[in-house]
Amino acid sequence: MNPDQFIQELEKHNLQVSDKQKKQFETYFKELVAANEHVNLTRITEKNDVYLKHFFDSITPLFVFNSVFDKGKSLCDVGAGAGFPSLPIKIMYPDLKITIVDSLAKRLTFLKELIDKLGLSDVELVHGRAEDVGQNKLYREKFDLVTARAVANMTVLSEYCLPLVKKDGYFMALKGPKAESELDDSQKALEVLGGKEIKTIELVLPNSDEERTLILVQKVKTTPKKYPRQAGTPRRKPIH
């Protein structure tokens, strides 16, 4: 997917891309590839692959779950790595207030420089593990939307993300193919943590065989205080 095809595909979903946004994606690509030589950010560095598997992939929630992305909403991205999915979403919807949580300082250094070069405002970077951030009063149950892409299985991911979601807010998981069994396994965790699956959409990225699953979970009740548990525990002892 070259940049022109990227823009055409977004337009099919009623997302218009301005000249400024085109430049921002171009800058993002260049900065990602340059920084990747020093910091391990991604295995995907070919331009067409970056536009398809990082940029377009990150934006899919905007046309699948568009109704939850109202202007001025707050979005927390857990384990964003090189900024996916939150920064492509922010480029398209500049009014969103973004908080990015990542445990690796080197990645956050890259993101800080990238955000400056992209000219983005209302983006906060938080250095920490999701379990610790989820117990921090500054962030716990403070966000309208929480996203995570390729971070952990759905059971573990729910414990990372749902404590950060406001009651009546949403958690969005961007998963690979065939996520149904993961979702089935996570039902107990969702219930315990106060979440309820609202919608699951399977799609294939344009002109490829790249399958994706997007899962939307609504926060229907407050998360019990004991969650998230101590760092490392959700992976070692998932909720079952």
CATH of the domain at 126: 3.40.50.150
Whether residue 19 is predicted with pLDDT greater than 80 in this model: the reply is yes
What average pLDDT does the segment 170-199 reach?
Answer: 92
Which pLDDT belongs to residue 182? 87
Q: Which is more confidently placed, 40 or 22?
A: 22
Please give the residue range of the domain that contains residue 167.
3-236
Cβ neighbours of residue 40 under 8 Å, at least 6 residues apart? none
Strand partners, 143: 165
- Average pLDDT score, the chain: 95
Give yes or no for a cis peptide into 88 (omega within 30° of 0). no
What average pLDDT does the segment 78-88 reach?
Answer: 94
- φ and ψ at 149, to 5 degrees? -130, 120
pLDDT tens-digit series, residues 177-190: 878 888 899 999 99
Give, rounded to a whole angstrom, the gap between the first and last alpha carbons of the chain: 40
Binding residues for S-adenosyl-L-methionine: 79, 84, 130-131, 149
pLDDT tens-digit series, residues 110-150: 999 999 999 999 999 999 999 999 999 999 999 999 999 97
The pLDDT confidence band at residue 107, using thresholds 50, 70 and 90, is very high
pLDDT tens-digit series, residues 211-230: 999 999 999 999 999 999 99
Which pLDDT belongs to residue 62? 96
Which pLDDT belongs to residue 87? 98
Residues 84, 236: Cα–Cα separation, whole Å: 25
For 191-211, give the DSSP string.
HHHTEEEEEEEEEE-TTS--E
Task: Count structural domains, the chain.
Answer: 1
Binding residues: 79, 84, 130-131, 149
Which pLDDT belongs to residue 174? 95
